[in-house]
Amino acid sequence: MPRQTWVNLLVWHPEDPLNSLNPLDLSGRLPRVLQVVRDGEAGPPGVILRPDEPLRQAAARVSAALGLRAPARPAPLLAIDQRPSGRGGDVEQMVLVLDGGTLPTEELPPCGGCGRSHLVWTPLEEAEQPTLVHALRARVRGGQPPTLWCGEPVGGG
């Protein structure tokens, strides 16, 4: 059965710009997350992990594809999501969500004619990947990254 390991970055912008000095304060509205639109579907920016590739190098590839500066220190792992293969020969996937940090403004990096997919800010509550919600909670709370099965915590966590 074919398997893929995805490395996604959680890049977010606080919904309340007046609270940009404390972006981890989620007492108000939830932040927006950076999404890549491919074929009309929005999802977190990511790449497939290459054989023997370190996670940091994969995260740097994602940052470079977005036109962002790679983090100076290793991006912490925020969530692990396993997704079984479905009917019709879907690929079994493991998704590792790493902290891509915050962008202080809503202004996205310029794309020009780079051929890159379209980037959008999506309110977290409208993102269709529950993994991102769990990843942001892990970023805020710290501690061990949650292990998920199809976007839901394993063991009620």
Q: What is the pLDDT of residues 42-81, one digit of tens each?
A: 889 999 999 999 998 999 999 888 877 776 677 889 999 9
Prediction pTM value: 0.80
- Which whole number is the average pLDDT over 107-117? 58
* Cβ partners under 8 Å of residue 124, min gap 6: 12, 30, 31, 32, 33, 132, 133, 136
User: Which of 76-85, 86-95, 112-121 is predicted most confidently?
Assistant: 76-85
Task: Round to whole Å and give the CA distance between 18 and 139.
Answer: 20
User: What confidence score (pLDDT) does residue 38 get?
Assistant: 80
**Is the pLDDT assigned to residue 23 strictly greater than 60?**
no
% residues pLDDT > 90 (the chain): 23
Confidence of residue 18 (pLDDT cuts 50, 70, 90): low
User: What confidence score (pLDDT) does residue 39 get?
Assistant: 79
pLDDT tens sequence across 33-46: 899 888 788 889 99
Task: Round to whole Å and give the CA distance between 112 and 89.
Answer: 36
In the structure, how many helices (H) and strands (E) does the chain have? 2, 9
Residue 8 in contact with residue 81, Cβ under 8 Å?
Answer: no
